[in-house]
Amino acid sequence: MPVLGEDLQRYCRQGFRSFHTPGHKGQQEFFRDINFLKLDLTELPGLDQLSSANGIIARAQQRAAQIFGAEESFFLINGGTAGNQAMFLALGEEAESKKVLVGRQSHKSVMSALVLTGLVPEFLTPIIHPEFNLPLGLDSDIEELDWDTIAACHITYPAYYGTIPDLRKLMDYRNKQGATCPFLIDQAHGSHYLGSLFPPSALALGADLVLHSTHKTLSALTQAAMLHVQGKSICRKKLCQSLELLQSSSPSYLLMVSLELAGEFALASERWAVLKEEVEILHTKVGGFLRILNDNDAGTYGIKLIDWSKILINTRSLGIPAPECVDYLRQDHGIEPELWDQENILFVLGIGNTREDIRALTKGLQGLAELVKGSGSSDFKPERLLLRGYPDVVQRMSPRQAFCAPREFLPLQESLGRIAAEIISPYPPGIPLIVMGEEITVETIEILLAGVQGNWQGWDGFKNGMIWVVREI
Ligand SMILES: Cc1ncc(COP(=O)(O)O)c(C=O)c1O
């Protein structure tokens, strides 16, 4: 067998319990009716076309719209990434003369949308939770904002970690000023928000465009996602054209069938009810000695609500670095988390998880208490890169102008006053320190020089203290 396939098989033989995406967790029952080889077809007579659906694909999309509460739904076979990009591409021409309000911690597909469209962002800064050092909340007190200058507002709902910002409050501010700019919601991590077990879906709150990465928590195959639309703010024709520009011309029927099925399974709320019961037990058994994000965190640090199906733990109270805890959980309990940093571990539940999975996780987390006794160490203090917070930055070019401009690679010490040509984020918290198009300040340079040893995303020259800047002509 080829190397990639062999390594995948080897990985699977370890039999980890999945606390990561995709949401189907390898459960055959979600795909019982799919003959994978036979249904791997192309757009043949009678099989409709994704880019101008009016047959079987259209009917499946209509059913999805009915399930998720949209006026129209579009299947995405290039992931939620294409959905975020299409949302911005589909905006009307007034977007050219205004700004788009965007969370600064947004997924990289939002940053790529800014580069593709040339739109100018006005960033909303998330609130970093002091205990987790992660951008869990959003400051929704933006009374001062002049909504007439805003062409669209893009919000991530929920954050990766399952925290929900106060979307309704933001919409109320817009409405109070009589503005009508559309709300574009990245609900990539919350496609399962149906019914009373979860926070309200963004569609229910009145958002205009809503992205679901259906593969993350529901049962669709990886890369299968949906974009939902309602209301009159978004031109449907332009939205379809945008999707056609961005998506493959050979859409996978396997991905589309998995989306159709995922919609039906999404209605099975009893599956989630079982998991919720077990998660509550987990909190009772483990919450005493381990800091877990929980319902009491709602209402603090810009967090409106918590999605219980994402379990975020911080290991500082244990005195053990998170990577050591992950090693233990993987080796001794067969638990595979979604992600971790020096002090946090995130476990993501999906519709395919079982009661037994959560019990195994509870046992594994209980075992961490023993691990602490064994190691005897309690002096772990994770290094945090941004103790003084983020510096003020000035935007001198749009991200697209900076991306397309000629560039050069300079030592940081020589970059003062120049325009950044890359996006650099300390991780955690993963909020960009500088975005392409912004001016490099003394403070930015100081933070970068002080943190060269740290964990950075998007910084090409971190090993030798270099940075990409726009070339001056
Ligand atoms: C918040 C958010 N939005 C969008 C995406 C992109 O989704 P996909 O991986 O389906 O392309 C991700 C992926 O991790 C994400 O975390």
Q: Is 344 in the pocket of ligand 1 (CB under 6 A)?
A: no
Note whether 91 and 129 are same-domain residues. Answer: yes
Using the mean position of ligand 1's atoms as its centre, give its distance from the Cα of residue 80 in Å.
Answer: 5
Note whether 38 and 92 are same-domain residues. Answer: yes
Q: Is 213 in the pocket of ligand 1 (CB under 6 A)?
A: yes
Note whether 167 and 255 are same-domain residues. Answer: yes
Using the mean position of ligand 1's atoms as its centre, give its distance from the Cα of residue 429 in Å.
Answer: 17
Number of structural domains (the chain) is 3
Note whether 356 and 250 are same-domain residues. Answer: no
Using the mean position of ligand 1's atoms as its centre, give its distance from the Cα of residue 245 in Å.
Answer: 19
In degrees, to the nearest 5, what angle opens at C-alpha 153 toward C-alphas 204 and 114? Answer: 130
Using the mean position of ligand 1's atoms as its centre, give its distance from the Cα of residue 107 in Å.
Answer: 6
Using the mean position of ligand 1's atoms as its centre, give its distance from the Cα of residue 101 in Å.
Answer: 19
Q: Which atom of ligand 1 is nearest to the CA of 223?
A: 10
Using the mean position of ligand 1's atoms as its centre, give its distance from the Cα of residue 188 in Å.
Answer: 6
Note whether 45 and 90 are same-domain residues. Answer: yes
Tell me what pLDDT residue 378 has.
64
The domain in which residue 73 lies consists of 31-266
Host H or E run for residue 108: helix 108-117
CATH number at residue 295: 3.90.1150.10
Using the mean position of ligand 1's atoms as its centre, give its distance from the Cα of residue 249 in Å.
Answer: 21
Pocket test for ligand 1, best of 21, 87, 107 (most atoms within 8 A of CB): 107
Q: Distance between alpha carbon 39 and the CA centroid of its chain, in Å?
A: 30
Residue 387 within a domain = no
Distances (CA, A) of 7 to 2, 52, 69, 332: 9, 39, 41, 21
Residue 389 within a domain = no
| 1 has a pLDDT exceeding 80 | no
Note whether 294 and 330 are same-domain residues. Answer: yes
Q: Is 228 in the pocket of ligand 1 (CB under 6 A)?
A: no
Note whether 258 and 282 are same-domain residues. Answer: no
CATH number at residue 221: 3.40.640.10
Cβ–Cβ < 8 Å for 233, 207: no
Note whether 174 and 317 are same-domain residues. Answer: no
pLDDT digits (tens, 9 = 90+) for 14-58: 999 999 999 999 999 999 889 999 999 999 999 999 999 999 999
| 3 has a pLDDT exceeding 80 | yes
pLDDT bin (cut points 50, 70, 90) of residue 373 is confident
Q: Which candidate, 208, 295, 321, 248, places its Cα nearest to that of 82?
A: 248
Q: Is 109 in the pocket of ligand 1 (CB under 6 A)?
A: yes
pLDDT bin (cut points 50, 70, 90) of residue 370 is confident
Residue 23 within a domain = no
Note whether 211 and 107 are same-domain residues. Answer: yes
| Range list of β-strands (E), 249-343 | 291-292, 305-306, 310-314, 335-337, 339-340
Tell me what pLDDT residue 189 has.
98
Q: Which atom of ligand 1 is nearest to the CA of 215?
A: 10
Tell me what pLDDT residue 381 has.
80
Phi, psi (deg, nearest 5) at residue 111: -65, -40
Tell me what pLDDT residue 348 has.
98
Contacts of 372 (CB under 8 A, 6+ apart): 318, 319, 320, 378
pLDDT digits (tens, 9 = 90+) for 284-309: 999 999 999 999 999 999 999 999 99
pLDDT digits (tens, 9 = 90+) for 133-188: 999 999 988 888 999 999 999 999 999 999 999 999 999 999 999 999 999 999 99
User: What average pLDDT does this structure show over 404-413?
Assistant: 97
Note whether 306 and 434 are same-domain residues. Answer: no
Note whether 58 and 137 are same-domain residues. Answer: yes
CATH number at residue 406: 3.90.100.10
Lowest-confidence segment of 138-142, 151-155, 342-346, 388-392 by average pLDDT: 388-392
Q: Is 79 in the pocket of ligand 1 (CB under 6 A)?
A: yes
pLDDT bin (cut points 50, 70, 90) of residue 388 is low
Tell me what pLDDT residue 42 has.
96
Q: Is 188 in the pocket of ligand 1 (CB under 6 A)?
A: yes
Q: Is 398 in the pocket of ligand 1 (CB under 6 A)?
A: no
Distances (CA, A) of 422 to 269, 379, 460: 43, 36, 8
Using the mean position of ligand 1's atoms as its centre, give its distance from the Cα of residue 428 in Å.
Answer: 17
Note whether 236 and 371 are same-domain residues. Answer: no
Residue 14 within a domain = no
- Residue where a domain terminates, one of 360, 375, 390: 375
| 399 has a pLDDT exceeding 70 | yes
Whole-model pTM: value is 0.96
| 380 has a pLDDT exceeding 90 | no
What is the C-alpha separation between 419 and 421, in angstroms, rounded?
6
Mean pLDDT taken over the chain: 95
3-state secondary structure of 192: coil
Residue 439 within a domain = yes
Q: Which atom of ligand 1 is nearest to the CA of 225?
A: 10
Q: Is 314 in the pocket of ligand 1 (CB under 6 A)?
A: no
What is the C-alpha separation between 34 and 2, in angstroms, rounded?
25
